């Protein structure tokens, strides 16, 4: 009897999910929309940077970047999260960004994650390690908390970052 009741519940739950993911409910928002679009994502990215730059594990990588390079990375990361969260972006993609150094507009093609991360050398003489990815995620999480991103959405964004782990961690550390 208990098993029967469980089966009915699961069928109903499955039906509800299918309805909302087919657009049956007009107020079902994508994670992208719930994050506040590209502007909301960019705010989370911006607010993660102080943490990334001062983190004892990975700070050195970010402190070494020029202001122009940092802006380009922020735009690329925003586009990547926009694409993965169901927004109207693709990734990798070509961006136009305004340099904070000279105010000039530049175009840049954001690279796939392996190309952007393999082969870096940190102070320990090694590339990005697993705990560096943990630190990166912790900074983004801290920023999402600061910006009042709901818990389930935080988990969704952290899962997006997690899905890049294998490409980001240096092959020498595997």
Location of structure tokens 């952290």:
158
Quick check: 75 binds ligand HEM (CB under 6 A)?
Answer: no
Residue closer to ligand HEM, measured from CB, 10 or 106: 106
With CB under 6 A as the contact rule, which of the stretches 3-11, 31-39, 75-83, 141-149 interacts with ligand HEM? 75-83
The answer to whether the beta carbons of residues 170 and 120 sit under 8 Å apart is yes
Size of the site for ligand HEM (CB under 6 A): 20
Quick check: 84 binds ligand HEM (CB under 6 A)?
Answer: no
Quick check: 69 binds ligand HEM (CB under 6 A)?
Answer: yes
The footprint of ligand HEM on residues 7-46 (CB under 6 A) is: none
Quick check: 157 binds ligand HEM (CB under 6 A)?
Answer: no
DSSP secondary-structure letter at 150? -
Quick check: 48 binds ligand HEM (CB under 6 A)?
Answer: no
Q: How far apart are CA 141 and CA 158, in angstroms?
A: 7
Coil, strand or helix at 107: strand
Residue closer to ligand HEM, measured from CB, 40 or 84: 84
- Which spans of this chain sit near ligand HEM (rule: CB under 6 A)? 58, 61, 69, 72-73, 76-77, 80, 110-111, 116-117, 128, 132-133, 136, 161, 164-165, 168
């Amino acid at each position: 009897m208990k098993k029967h009741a469980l089966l009915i519940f699961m069928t109903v739950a499955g039906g509800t999910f299918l309805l909302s993911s087919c657009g049956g409910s007009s107020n079902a928002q994508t994670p992208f929309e719930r994050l506040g679009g590209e502007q909301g994502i960019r705010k989370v990215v911006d607010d993660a940077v102080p943490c990334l730059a001062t983190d004892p594990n990975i700070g050195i990588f970010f402190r070494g970047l020029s202001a122009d390079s940092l802006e380009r990375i922020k735009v690329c990361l925003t586009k990547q999260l926009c694409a993965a969260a169901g927004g109207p972006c693709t990734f990798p993609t070509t961006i136009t960004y305004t340099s904070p150094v000279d105010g000039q507009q530049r175009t840049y093609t954001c690279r796939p994650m392996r190309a952007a991360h393999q082969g870096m050398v940190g102070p320990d003489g090694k590339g990005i390690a697993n705990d560096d990815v943990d630190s990166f995620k912790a900074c983004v999480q801290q920023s999402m908390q600061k910006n009042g991103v709901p818990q389930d959405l935080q988990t969704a964004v952290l899962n997006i970052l997690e899905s890049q782990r294998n490409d980001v961690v240096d092959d020498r550390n595997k």
